[in-house]
Amino acid sequence: MQPDVLPARQSDLLGGPLGRFTDPNGRWRAVVARIVPLVWVPMILAVLQRERCVRFGWGGQDQFWRACFSDLPAQYSLGNLTAGFGGYLSGEAHLEQPVVAGSVMSLLGGLVPSSASGVDQTRWYFLYWVVLITVLLAATVWCTAHLVPGNVQAATQVALSPVIVTAAVLSSDALAVALVAVAMLAWARARHTITGVLLGVGTMTRGYVALVAIALLITAIRSDALAAARRVCLTALATAGGLAAVFTVVQHSALTAVYTGWWGAKASYGSPWLLPQLVACNVPACTTQQTESKLISWIFNLRAVELPVWTVTTLAILGIVLALVLGRIFAREAYHAPTWPQVAFVVVAMAMMTGKAVPVQASLWLLPLAAAAGVRWRDHLIWAGTEIAHFIAIWLYIGALTRPDRALPGPWYGLFLVIRLGGISWMVSRVWRAAQYPSGRHEAAHARGPAARDAIPA
């Protein structure tokens, strides 16, 4: 994959290219210091995009029409997070979240002023999360910059991605994203115990981090680092097991709620297994757009079918297995040993696309992995465009359930869902192609040895 260099003027804003006699390390630190604060730009846009809900609250259907919904205020209200962390441990506050995410959410909930009104409390809680997510994303940018030093593109893609505007403040996923970024940097610096601890904590924050850990094992088979990768994964397993043991004793339901909920869940928004329900004209919106929706249904020649829970669960599990198999094939067939971010991107993206749900905020999982894997700005923006289109479509479709005259019929939402999956598939193909047909720059990195390969985005 050819490097996608910034235009000269944009490069000058960050200090321009390195000179012949410049100290690379000192110069790069100065560049990183300019890149990291840029994450405020999409974060401010994310808050402004939700201005309506910040002003009037996150209640009723208006939050969908205005596309300002966030799961954070909803979880605060429904989960009784005013009880704080103590309430979470006692069962007074309840969340269907992995325990680390639930703990942080309840901790922030306990900081909300109890004297404030209901709407003001949700505003405070949302504000706390905006600040925390900004810090977490800044840390992710910093880690990405040091994971692939000398590559302005990788760091700026994380800092300025349009995906942050649509996805960052929807949920607590930035916690797991930052943990993965720090873990990858720790691995690059041979801090194997720290890497394992971070992956273990990350797994108890979002389940996809377990796939990132397995991707490390797959990568290590090809790069002759299997012993170190095994130590990392054993440390991660011990860390996750320790956290699970603590919550089993203290509050068993807090530990198991998210996993039992996933096991019994139907296909939900963003999942390809939802398409059989969407393709036929069987939602209220079809009453006002009958001709269009029936035409689409006729083209697909399918009738609305809701897949049974056991079928969706089986397909999701098979999707994870398929993702791991493809990750192994990818690592084995690559021209040179691929990097951990490359393998992790392929595995996580493939597993995500076959899951029971692919929520809007799941795009954050891929953001630093894609940047560290060497995806170009052009391809990044193509993917971001599909994410934005799906972001708009999903709120209009949810609105169809109550206001069919203003909504998006199911078949049309299905189209945008497919477009989004196509965008993710496009990114996978770019990473795959980069590993199969490396540029001369990657050849030079390979010739300099493993340390150099870790320093160059693949």
Q: Where are the alpha helices (DSSP H) in 334-376?
A: 340-353, 363-372
The confidence score (pLDDT) of residue 441 equals 42
Question: Is the per-residue pLDDT at 305 higher than 90?
Answer: no
> Which is more confidently placed, 424 or 303?
424
Least confident of 108-122, 334-348, 430-444: 430-444
- Place 30 in a pLDDT band, splitting at 50, 70 and 90: confident
> Which residue carries 């029409």 as its tokens?
65
The confidence score (pLDDT) of residue 15 equals 44
CA triplet 10, 24, 140: central angle to 5 degrees?
A: 65
The confidence score (pLDDT) of residue 21 equals 46
**Nearest CA among 215, 149, 151, 156 for reference residue 180:** 215
The confidence score (pLDDT) of residue 445 equals 39
* Rg (the chain; Cα; Å): 22
CA triplet 400, 404, 405: central angle to 5 degrees?
A: 135
**Nearest CA among 158, 163, 130 for reference residue 37:** 158
Which two tokens mark 65? 């029409």
d(CA 410, CA 401) in angstroms, rounded, equals: 10
> Which residue carries 């829970």 as its tokens?
309
User: What is the average pLDDT across 446-453?
Assistant: 39
The confidence score (pLDDT) of residue 454 equals 45
Question: Is the per-residue pLDDT at 218 higher than 90?
Answer: yes
* Distance (Å) of CA 334 to CA 173, 224, 404, 410, 446: 30, 15, 49, 40, 13
User: What is the average pLDDT across 285-292?
Assistant: 47
d(CA 82, CA 100) in angstroms, rounded, equals: 17
The confidence score (pLDDT) of residue 400 equals 72
User: What is the average pLDDT across 205-225?
Assistant: 94
d(CA 367, CA 220) in angstroms, rounded, equals: 22
What pLDDT, in 10s, does the model give residues 9-19? Answer: 454 444 445 55
What pLDDT, in 10s, does the model give residues 410-445? Answer: 888 999 999 999 999 999 999 999 888 766 444 443
**Nearest CA among 93, 92, 91 for reference residue 252:** 91
Q: Can you say how many angstroms the Cα of residue 89 is from the centroid of all Cα atoms in its chain?
A: 27
Burial class (CB in 10 A: 0-12, 13-18, 19+), 131: exposed
Q: Could you tell me which residues come within 8 angstroms of residue 364 by beta carbon, excluding any fewer than 6 positions away?
A: 163, 164, 167, 168, 173, 174, 177
Which two tokens mark 319? 């999707």
The confidence score (pLDDT) of residue 284 equals 45
Question: Is the per-residue pLDDT at 101 higher than 90?
Answer: yes
- Place 279 in a pLDDT band, splitting at 50, 70 and 90: confident
Taking the model in full, what pTM does it have?
A: 0.88
Question: Is the per-residue pLDDT at 290 higher than 80?
Answer: no
The confidence score (pLDDT) of residue 151 equals 84
**Nearest CA among 269, 272, 257, 369 for reference residue 316:** 272
For residue 323, give the amino acid letter: A
d(CA 288, CA 269) in angstroms, rounded, equals: 23
**Total length of the chain:** 458
The confidence score (pLDDT) of residue 334 equals 85
> Which is more confidently placed, 204 or 412?
204
* Distance (Å) of CA 153 to CA 120, 277, 370, 380: 39, 40, 11, 11
Least confident of 150-159, 217-226, 277-286, 329-338: 277-286
User: What is the average pLDDT across 19-31?
Assistant: 61
The confidence score (pLDDT) of residue 224 equals 82
Question: Is the per-residue pLDDT at 8 higher than 50?
Answer: no
For residue 425, give the amino acid letter: S
User: Which DSSP letter does residue 357 get?
Assistant: -
The confidence score (pLDDT) of residue 435 equals 85
Diameter of the chain by CA atoms?
70
For residue 289, give the amino acid letter: Q
- Place 303 in a pLDDT band, splitting at 50, 70 and 90: low
Question: Is the per-residue pLDDT at 260 higher than 50?
Answer: yes
Question: Is the per-residue pLDDT at 48 higher than 60?
Answer: yes
What pLDDT, in 10s, does the model give residues 376-391? Answer: 999 999 999 999 999 9
User: What is the average pLDDT across 385-412?
Assistant: 85
**Nearest CA among 264, 246, 297, 333 for reference residue 410:** 297
* Distance (Å) of CA 268 to CA 125, 313, 356, 358: 26, 12, 6, 8
The confidence score (pLDDT) of residue 250 equals 92
Q: Residue 53: phi, psi to the nearest 5?
A: -70, -35
Percentages helix, strand, coil for the chain (3-state, rounded to 5) are: 75, 0, 25
CA triplet 319, 320, 326: central angle to 5 degrees?
A: 85
In this prediction, what percent of the chain has a pLDDT beyond 90? Answer: 67
**Nearest CA among 382, 355, 384, 374 for reference residue 432:** 374
* Distance (Å) of CA 152 to CA 18, 31, 147, 308, 376: 11, 8, 11, 47, 11
- Place 7 in a pLDDT band, splitting at 50, 70 and 90: very low
The confidence score (pLDDT) of residue 439 equals 60
Question: Is the per-residue pLDDT at 263 higher than 60?
Answer: yes
Q: Residue 131: phi, psi to the nearest 5?
A: -65, -45
